[in-house]
Amino acid sequence: MINLASDNVVGASRVVLEAILAANAAPEASYGSDRFSREAESRLKAIFEHDLKAYFVTTGTAANALALAALCPPWGAVFCHEESHVADDECGAPEMFTAGAKLVGVPGVAGKITSGALEHVIKRYPRGAIKAVQPSAVSLSQVTECGTIYTLDEIKALSAVAHAHSIPVHMDGARFANALLSLGCSPAAMTWKAGVDVLSFGATKNGCLACEAVIFFDPAKAADFEFRRKRSGHTVSKGRLLGAQMLAYLQDDHWLNNAKHANAMAAELNTGFKSIAGVRLPWATEANEVFAIVPRRMADAFTKADIAAASWYTESVSLPRDEYVKADEVFLRFVTSFQTKPEEIARVLDVARTA
């Protein structure tokens, strides 16, 4: 079977699993005060070229929800893309952990919000107006829900709008490494240098078993975070198992090599699809996700050939204005990973061409 439904259908990399085994060998301090977690935080400081606080959790939902809770009072507003993961795919965790803050959706093609649209929506919530939730955070997904990437100029422009309204910027970096390689910039350039205050640094989808970091570039903003993490049940008692994963992930460019491979596999699939009549790609392939509108018979051929992709939302408001999924078509998402083989991409394209 070839499974490209998501990049979390694959397990952890051997490097990460071996690091977990090695960390398992001897007694170690608990609740995140272990040497692996401390070393991983030091590595992150070096990689981001900035002082920071890093907290490890086991899911991206926890990372996002707890990060937003640290930024946002219960009467706050979080501005995010209307089809973002925080808005649509976290079962209200951001609302719960902020104790009721409102997620305000901002529209935008290809999963991206523009600085103009952001400014426009923020103005609906005047500062000091008792009737309105108060602007408290902007949350950007890098990679976006549509597999696209914000450029550095776009991140800077969005941060400028947020900061002009005195609100911090959170980045949902569930696929941070894929975005980073796509832009070819430094981790610093894509985050704090562009105005990002808090980052959910994803690692699970790109090689870890279950590990994400919440990174505060201003340690002062992290003052209460340990309480929030414990209270949500995300302070892992054998915290070394998270620290060891993150350390292995960052060692010897493992994270970058994994993402580079995943992006290359997606680029190959993208190029192949472009040469096949009847396949339309509504959003640019900029990282490790390929979205394709295909004839139903092609989708059926994939199923028959034991090739799995995710069915995507045909009603997505992120589609370009002149694009829609017709009755005899299916909207599919293919996600490549560090484990995707070139032969698998060739096979998918072969089945598509034959259909």
Ligand X SMILES: *Cc1c(COP(=O)(O)O)cnc(C)c1O
The window from 27-35, 57-65, 130-138, 336-344 that contacts ligand X (CB under 6 A) reads 57-65
Residue closer to ligand X by CB (options 7, 344) is 7
Q: CB–CB of 134/77 below 8 Å?
A: yes
The b-or-e profile of 41-77 (16+ CB within 10 A means b, else e) is: bebbeebbebebbbbbbbbbbbbbbbbbbbbbeeebb
Please tell me whether residue 172 binds ligand X under the rule CB under 6 A.
yes
Nearest to 14 by CA among 218, 216, 245, 240: 245
Please tell me whether residue 85 binds ligand X under the rule CB under 6 A.
yes
Q: Distances from the Cα of 240 to the Cαs of 13, 25, 175, 214, 236, in angstroms? A: 17, 11, 23, 16, 9
Q: How far is the CB of 308 from ligand X (least distance, A)?
A: 17
Residue closer to ligand X by CB (options 202, 272) is 202
Please tell me whether residue 61 binds ligand X under the rule CB under 6 A.
yes
Measure the CA–CA gap between 144 and 186, rounded to whole angstroms: 19
- Which residue type does 329 have? E
The window from 59-67, 102-110, 123-131, 308-316 that contacts ligand X (CB under 6 A) reads 59-67
User: For the chain, first and last CA: distance in Å?
Assistant: 18
Please tell me whether residue 141 binds ligand X under the rule CB under 6 A.
yes
Residue closer to ligand X by CB (options 61, 245) is 61
What is the layout of strands, in order, in the sheet containing 198-202? 53-57, 212-216, 198-202, 169-173, 134-141, 76-81, 102-106
Measure the CA–CA gap between 162 and 136, rounded to whole angstroms: 9
Q: CA-based angle 70:133:68, to the nearest 5?
A: 20
Residue least distant from ligand X (Cβ): 60
The window from 53-61, 125-133, 240-248, 310-318 that contacts ligand X (CB under 6 A) reads 53-61
The window from 55-63, 265-273, 315-323, 342-350 that contacts ligand X (CB under 6 A) reads 55-63
Contacts with ligand X by CB under 6 A: the residue count is: 11
Residues from 196 through 235 that contact ligand X (CB under 6 A):
204-205
Nearest to 213 by CA among 173, 180, 240: 173
Q: How far is the CB of 134 from ligand X (least distance, A)?
A: 25
Among 44, 106, 161, 174, binds ligand X (CB under 6 A): 174
Among 60, 187, 195, 243, binds ligand X (CB under 6 A): 60
The residues binding ligand X (CB under 6 A) are 59-61, 64, 85, 141, 145, 172, 174, 204-205
